């Protein structure tokens, strides 16, 4: 930290600043979700997933549920990465049993039909109201995380029309017409900056950028469509909000994580399940705070194996700047009592 900078009090913010935390901070991706019975009750009343995201009091409630139950060190706003294309005017629907379905954009004509990125915040006002409510209702020791999808990952849904195992539609457009595809990325960089900025103005203290499909790109494409856009977002955000902590999650980036961490300049790097904690300690933790990376299916299994592998992560990474998390999000079949057991283990572990 810069000389004269006041040290943050919240445990997660201290870890991101690289200062002593007196225990490892903990939160989990998708900590508010279908594994919790109280979430399922609210979801049933909401009348649709986007309705839940766009109803501030309901989004606040489901964000608070895991905080009340487990006492995580951070709450992450309940929303979705696809509210950005929705705000840009692309048709987005969440269908039971199918997940998100979008009207695909595959060419310049489709790009021209999108709304101005500068106007996304008008559509997403209810999201920022939820952030404002949370900034008032969260316990004083709990950090509030805002988030967005990285341009590449959001683009894969916008171009493919749904989730894809190989992101073929977006990759083929990027390979065949890279300059035209770059226009979509530029739109998403601007829209993402506006969306995250509005969350910070509403009370978010940290932002996380999710690049779920970063690892599907070969090196040169990774540099252009995963690394550079997140670097641009980080620079634009920190020009507006000096000192704002930014965490990135380039899932599947592997050895490219080293360049990504260094060149994007993000404050923290979230690790997927496939990253060796020892490798991360050697190659990444010297550059800043790392976050991760227990296999979510260990949380489903529970028991001694979950505890053994969680302790391995803690003992390997817990002496440096570190936030305990999963290597991806909590899955719906996770027993809530296993989450409680893991929380207790991490909270009782000491450096």
User: Which pTM value belongs to this model?
Assistant: 0.97
Q: At what angle do helices 168-176 and 151-160 cross, to 10 degrees?
A: 100
Q: Are 325 and 26 in contact (CB under 8 A)?
A: yes
SS3 255: coil
CA-to-CA dists, residue 185 to 65, 80, 162, 216, angstroms: 35, 18, 18, 16
Residue 10: asked if its preceding bond is cis (omega within 30°), the reply is: no
Residues taking part in catalysis: 30, 34, 43, 80, 157
Rounded average pLDDT over 251-263: 98
pLDDT band at 95 (very low <50, low <70, confident <90, very high): confident
Residues 6+ apart with CB under 8 A from 112: none
Note the pLDDT tens digit of each residue in 196-255: 999 999 999 999 999 999 999 999 999 999 999 999 999 999 999 999 999 999 999 999
Is residue 106 over pLDDT 50?
A: yes
Note the pLDDT tens digit of each residue in 281-308: 999 999 999 999 999 999 999 999 999 9
SS3 113: coil
Which structure tokens are listed for 194? 């506006």
> Residue for token digits 């704002």?
244
**Greater model confidence, 57 or 20:** 57
Is residue 150 over pLDDT 80?
A: yes
Beta bridge partners of 27: none
Beta bridge partners of 212: none
**pLDDT at 351 (0 to 100):** 58
Please report, rounded to a whole number, the percentage of residues in the chain having pLDDT higher than 70. 98
Note the pLDDT tens digit of each residue in 46-83: 989 999 999 999 999 999 999 999 999 999 999 999 99
Is residue 174 over pLDDT 50?
A: yes
Which structure tokens are listed for 297? 């299916």
Q: At what angle do helices 125-137 and 56-70 cross, to 10 degrees?
A: 40
**pLDDT at 3 (0 to 100):** 44
Domains of the chain and CATH, by start: 12-348 (3.20.20.210)
- Beta strand extents in 6-137 (DSSP E only): 74-76, 92-95, 99-102
Residue (of 237, 267, 236, 276) closest to 249 by Cα position: 267
State the DSSP code for 350: -
pLDDT band at 2 (very low <50, low <70, confident <90, very high): very low
Tell me phi and psi for residue 7, to 5 degrees.
Answer: -70, 135
**pLDDT at 350 (0 to 100):** 82
**Greater model confidence, 8 or 192:** 192
Is residue 5 over pLDDT 80?
A: no
**pLDDT at 7 (0 to 100):** 79
SS3 75: strand
Is residue 138 over pLDDT 80?
A: yes
Q: Are 74 and 27 in contact (CB under 8 A)?
A: yes
Taking the CA atoms of residue 247, residue 248, residue 249 and residue 253 in that order, the dihedral angle to the nearest 10 degrees is -140
DSSP class per residue in 229-297 = HHHHHHHHHHHHSTT--EEEEETT-TTHHHHHHHHH--SEEEPPTTS-HHHHHHHTGGGSEEEEEE-HH
Q: In which order are the strands placed within the sheet that holds 268-270? A: 74-76, 143-149, 206-211, 246-250, 268-270, 289-294, 322-326
Q: Are 134 and 60 in contact (CB under 8 A)?
A: yes
d(CA 215, CA 208): 17
pLDDT band at 98 (very low <50, low <70, confident <90, very high): confident
Average pLDDT, the chain: 96
Is residue 18 over pLDDT 80?
A: yes
Other Cβ atoms less than 10 A from the Cβ of 251: the count is: 21
Q: Are 214 and 152 in contact (CB under 8 A)?
A: yes
CA-to-CA dists, residue 183 to 57, 80, 225, angstroms: 36, 23, 11
**pLDDT at 66 (0 to 100):** 98
């Amino acid at each position: 930290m810069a000389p004269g900078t006041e040290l943050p009090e919240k445990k997660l913010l201290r870890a991101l600043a690289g200062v002593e935390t007196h225990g490892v901070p903990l939160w989990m991706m998708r900590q508010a979700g279908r594994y919790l019975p109280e979430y399922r009750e609210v979801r049933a009343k909401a009348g649709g997933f986007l309705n839940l995201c766009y109803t501030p009091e309901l989004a606040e409630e489901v964000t608070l549920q895991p905080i009340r139950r487990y006492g995580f060190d951070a709450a992450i706003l309940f929303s979705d990465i696809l509210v950005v294309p929705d705000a840009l005017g692309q048709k987005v629907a969440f269908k039971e049993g199918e997940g998100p379905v979008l009207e695909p954009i595959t060419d310049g004509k489709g790009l021209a039909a999108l709304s101005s990125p500068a106007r996304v915040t008008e559509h997403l006002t209810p999201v920022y109201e939820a952030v404002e409510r949370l900034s008032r209702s969260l316990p004083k020791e709990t950090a509030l995380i805002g988030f967005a999808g990285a341009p590449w990952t959001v683009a894969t849904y916008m171009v493919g029309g749904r989730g894809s195992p190989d992101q073929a539609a977006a990759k083929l457009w990027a390979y065949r017409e890279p300059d035209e595809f770059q226009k979509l990325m530029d739109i998403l960089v601007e829209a993402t900056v506006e969306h995250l900025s509005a969350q910070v103005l509403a009370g978010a203290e940290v932002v996380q950028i999710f690049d779920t499909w970063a690892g599907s790109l070969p090196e040169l494409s990774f540099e252009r469509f995963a690394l550079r856009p997140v670097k641009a977002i980080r620079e634009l955000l920190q020009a507006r909000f000096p000192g704002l902590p930014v965490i990135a999650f380039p899932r599947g980036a592997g050895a490219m994580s080293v360049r990504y961490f260094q060149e994007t300049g993000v404050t923290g790097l979230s690790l997927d399940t496939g990253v060796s904690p020892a490798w991360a300690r050697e190659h990444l933790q010297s550059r800043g705070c790392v976050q991760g990376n227990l296999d979510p299916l260990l949380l489903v299994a529970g028991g001694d194996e979950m505890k053994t592998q969680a302790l391995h992560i803690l003992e390997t990474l817990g002496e440096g700047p570190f936030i305990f998390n999963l290597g991806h999000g909590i899955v719906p079949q996770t027993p809530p009592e296993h989450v409680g057991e893991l929380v207790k283990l991490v909270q009782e572990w000491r450096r």
